Amino acid sequence: MPTRCEKPTEVVNAINNLSEDAFMDRFLPNGERRSHFKDKDKRDWVIDFVPVQSLTPYDFTQCFELVENMERAYRASSMGWSRKGKKEEMGLQHMRYLLVTKDGLTQREDALEWREKQRTNQRWRERPLLLEEPVHRMYDLFDDAIHGMLSFMITVEDNLPVLYIYEVHMSRLARGTGIGSHLMRMVEGIAKEAGLAKTMLTSFTKELWTVDTYRHLGYLEDEYSPAPRELRGKVVKPDYIIMSKTMAAG
C-alpha cells in the first residue's frame, strides 16, 4: 500500500502546470505525441496524446459519443446521467486524452469543415445504421473516426498524488483486441515516470465483466471504495467500485 505523500498538491500542481510540450517530453516515450499499435487482429492504429485544450470540438464530440454509449449504465446507477455534467467533467482544465484512430487525427480547419458538411448532408443521414450501439456513432463512417479514447487527470485522492482514469472506451469495431489494455499500460507508464502513487478508476459493478477486465489488468478494490451499507435491515452493495493499482511508494 502506498504511504501518504508529504506534499501531494505540490507534486500534482507541478505536473499539471507543465506546458503540453514539456509534459510530452517528460512522460511520453521519446517525447512523441503520436505512437502506433498493432492489435491482436493485426490491425494498425495510431494513438495521439491530446490535452483537453488542444481537443477540437469535433474530436470532443466523438469522445463524448463513445462515453454516451454508457448512458444506460449511468442511468441505472446511483450516479445518474447528465449530458451537461459529463461534458463539463470531460472538459476539466487538466484532463488529458489518448485518442485512437486508423490514420491519426486530422486537425486542419478545411478537414473539419469538410467533415461537418458531410455530417449534416441529407443523403448521408439517410444511410442505414451500421452499428448496434444505443447511440449510433455516425463518425465511424469516416476514415479519421476516433475508435478509442482514454481520458485521465493527475490529481490528489486521499492525500496521494494519483493518475485517475476518467474514461476508457473503444468503439464496437475496436473492442476486445488489446487496445484498451494498451492505453491503460500507457498511462501507467506516465504515472510511474511521474512518481505517482497509483492509477485509479471507477467501474459500475453491474457491468461485472469490466470489473473482471480491470482485475485481470492488475486493479484491486481501492481502500476508499464505498463499502456495502445496511439500509432498512438489508445490506445494499454500492453499484460502483473504485479500483486502483499501486505504482510507487508515494
Give the footprint of ligand COA on this chain (CB under 6 A).
70, 168-170, 175-181, 203, 207, 209-210, 212-213, 216-217
DSSP code of residue 31: G
- Find, among 196, 198, 142, 207, the residue nearest to 169 by Cα: 207
From the CB of 32, what's the least distance to ligand COA, in Å? 22
From the CB of 56, what's the least distance to ligand COA, in Å? 22
Grid cell digits, residue 148: 478509442
Backbone φ, ψ for residue 80 (5° rounding): 70, 175
In the bound state with ligand COA, the residue whose beta carbon lies nearer, of 12 and 69, is 69
From the CB of 42, what's the least distance to ligand COA, in Å? 14
The residue written with cell numbers 455530417 in the block is: 119
In the bound state with ligand COA, the residue whose beta carbon lies nearer, of 191 and 201, is 201
Burial class from Cβ neighbours inside 10 Å (0-12, 13-18, 19+) for residue 55 reads buried
In the bound state with ligand COA, the residue whose beta carbon lies nearer, of 43 and 119, is 43
In the bound state with ligand COA, the residue whose beta carbon lies nearer, of 155 and 171, is 171
In the bound state with ligand COA, the residue whose beta carbon lies nearer, of 62 and 203, is 203
From the CB of 174, what's the least distance to ligand COA, in Å? 7
From the CB of 212, what's the least distance to ligand COA, in Å? 3
- Give, in degrees to the nearest 5, the angle at Cα 189 between 197 and 192: 30
Non-local CB neighbours of 25 within 8 Å, separated by 6+ positions: 31
